[in-house]
């Protein structure tokens, strides 16, 4: 795996695919700078070597049209502040304007290209468009894990024009290493905590990780499909009846592979889906009609804690309750603390996938776990065992 550390950028222009698809407020100010900060070490390595950086990214979904509200010029100040260099801007990402801006770029300088998705060819993975992008740098660096699962011109096809001159940036390398630790090289016991609402959205992940983990903790809305499939009463809890045979199949496969599956034994149930609903703790397989499980119960959390405390490698994908409502966030917060404690003792913990990342950020666990993945879809596809096009493109020469 070639990383940015394998290259000397002195006198070179690095064409870096970053993921600056950041949220903007009504004044076009960046409201969350995490993705820009994540790219900073890669950009600084190029500048410190004595090279220059040409940054390309998309922003929003302009669908191949020029949409002024989605121009990357809105984020120039934020990028300049974070990187510590006054960033220059090119009014286009390919063609004469981009080429002229790149030609004028001097060592130590940073250029931000206009939104890639103003060109329909970007999402189409067009070879000619990728070729025009390739003319803007000497070495191609992919540091956009969040888009690595897309075979777009700037994330995958452009790499074909850089034989021997392409690599992963620091962020991409970290993401690949983190997933590799969970799926292949991690210290045992390895535990996966899968939450979220539906079994259907996690099927491929479960199937792929069953041969790689020692323990599988299931929480959140998925719980009730497994419980009902085994004859339990789940009241009005979310349940995918058509996935019950699959749930039993998963339990059977896990048993055959020697994977211990840990399901909730009790839940905090509510008589309505809202924060002010009446609540009570009930057995997971005896939820009264009209009531629904919305968070993990105390006995369940005790059981989960024993498993997590004994783990050396942990993957957390999905909350164990409806954490967006304060009264049903306690289980997810408790799991966060459990993972924090075991991480302090030297375990490796990876958090990935939309809702669990949101929960970790909301409750302040971001710096208390080993790694929080920046790529929702890309992370999930990696866990499903798929080879991401953006990664494969760098690996082949």
Domain end: 168, 186, 213, which one?
168
Hey, which residues does 270 pair with through a beta bridge?
A: 279, 292
Instruction: Kindly name the residue from 198, 260, 312, 361 that is annotated as catalytic.
Output: 198
User: Which of these three, 168, 193, 208, is where a domain ends?
Assistant: 168
Residue with tokens 């050396």: 312
Is residue 100 among the annotated active site residues?
no
Flag whether the pTM goes above 0.85.
Answer: yes
Is 377 a residue of the active site? yes
Q: Do 186 and 161 belong together in one domain?
A: no
CATH of the domain at 103: 3.40.50.1260
Q: Does the pLDDT of residue 189 top 90, yes or no? A: yes
Binding residues for substrate: 19-21, 35, 58-61, 117, 150
Check if the beta carbon of residue 166 is closer than 8 Å to that of residue 2: yes
The strand ranges marked E within the chain are 13-17, 52-56, 88-89, 110-112, 139-142, 166-168, 190-194, 215-218, 233-234, 260-262, 266-270, 279-283, 286-287, 292-296, 313-317, 348-351, 371-372
Given 12, 17, 35, 45, the catalytic residue: 35
**Is 354 marked active-site?**
yes
User: What mean pLDDT is predicted for residues 91-117?
Assistant: 97
Query: What's residue 190's pLDDT?
Result: 95
Residue 380 predicted with pLDDT over 90 = no
Tokens of 386: 């798929």
- What residues form the annotated binding site for (2R)-3-phosphoglycerate? 35, 117, 150
- Concerning whether 17 is annotated as a catalytic residue, the answer is no
List pLDDT tens digits, range 311-350: 999 999 999 999 999 999 999 999 999 999 999 999 999 9
CA separation for the pair 122, 129 (Å, rounded) = 7
Domain-terminating residue out of 135, 168, 201: 168
Reported for 285-291, long-range contacts at CB under 8 A and 24+ positions apart, including other chains, are 285/227, 285/230, 285/231, 285/232, 285/233, 285/234, 286/232, 286/233, 287/233, 287/234, 287/235, 287/236, 287/237, 288/233, 288/235, 289/235, 289/236, 290/235, 290/236, 291/235, 291/236, 291/237
Give the whole-angstrom CA distance, residue 165 versus residue 12: 11
Residue 353 pLDDT more than 80? no
pLDDT, tens digit, for every residue of 268-300? 999 999 999 999 999 999 999 999 999 999 999
Q: How many domains does the chain have?
A: 2
Which pLDDT tens digit goes with each residue over 57-93? 999 999 999 999 999 999 999 999 999 999 999 999 9
pLDDT at 357 over 90: no
pLDDT of residue 269: 98
Q: Two tokens at 260?
A: 């211990």
User: Per the domain annotation, does 180 fall within a domain?
Assistant: yes
User: From CA 212, how far away is CA 192, in angstroms rounded?
Assistant: 10
CB atoms within 10 A of CB 37: 13
* pLDDT higher than 80, residue 377: no
Residues 131 and 196 in one domain: no
Active-site position among 64, 95, 377, 385: 377
Tell me whether residue 311 is in a domain: yes
Check whether 382 has a pLDDT greater than 90.
no
Question: Binning pLDDT at 50, 70 and 90, where does residue 354 land?
Answer: low
Domain housing 183? 175-383
Q: What is residue 182's three-state secondary structure?
A: helix
What are the binding residues for ATP?
202, 293, 324, 353-356
């Amino acid at each position: 795996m070639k990383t940015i550390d394998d290259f000397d950028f002195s006198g070179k222009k690095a064409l870096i695919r970053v993921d600056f698809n950041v949220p903007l407020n009504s004044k076009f100010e960046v409201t969350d700078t995490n993705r820009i900060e994540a790219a900073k070490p890669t950009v600084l390595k190029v500048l410190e070597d004595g090279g220059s950086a040409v940054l390309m990214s998309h922003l929003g979904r302009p669908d191949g049209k020029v949409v002024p509200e989605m121009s990357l010029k809105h984020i120039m100040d934020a990028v300049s502040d974070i990187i510590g260099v006054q960033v220059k801007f090119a009014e286009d990402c390919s063609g004469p304007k981009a080429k002229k801006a790149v030609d004028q770029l001097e060592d130590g300088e940073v250029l931000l290209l206009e939104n890639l998705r103003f060109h329909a060819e970007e999402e189409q993975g067009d070879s000619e468009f990728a070729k025009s992008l390739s003319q803007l740098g000497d070495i191609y660096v992919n540091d956009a894990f969040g888009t690595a699962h897309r075979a777009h011109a700037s994330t995958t096809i452009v790499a074909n024009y850089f034989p021997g001159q392409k690599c992963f940036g620091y962020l991409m390398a970290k993401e690949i290493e983190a997933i590799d630790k969970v799926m292949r090289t991690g210290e045992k016991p390895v535990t996966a905590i899968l939450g979220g609402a539906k079994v259907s959205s996690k099927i491929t992940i479960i199937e792929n990780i069953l041969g790689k983990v020692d323990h599988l903790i299931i929480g959140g809305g998925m719980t009730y499909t497994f419980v009902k499939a085994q004859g339990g009463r789940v009241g009005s809890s979310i349940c995918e009846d058509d996935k019950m045979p699959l749930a039993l199949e998963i339990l059977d496969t896990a048993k055959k592979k020697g994977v211990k599956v840990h399901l909730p034994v009790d839940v905090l149930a509510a008589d309505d889906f809202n924060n002010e609903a009446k609540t009570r703790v009930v057995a997971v397989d005896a939820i009264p009609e009209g009531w629904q499980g919305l968070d993990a119960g105390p006995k369940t959390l005790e059981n989960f804690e024993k498993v997590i405390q004994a783990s050396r490698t942990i993957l957390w994908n999905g909350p164990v309750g409806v954490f967006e409502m304060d009264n049903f966030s306690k289980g997810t917060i408790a799991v966060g603390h459990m993972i924090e404690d075991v991480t302090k003792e030297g375990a490796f913990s990876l958090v990935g996938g939309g809702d669990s990342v949101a929960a970790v950020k909301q409750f302040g666990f971001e710096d208390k776990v080993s790694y929080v993945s920046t790529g929702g879809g890309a992370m999930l596809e990696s866990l499903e065992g798929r080879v991401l096009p953006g990664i494969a493109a760098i690996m082949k020469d």
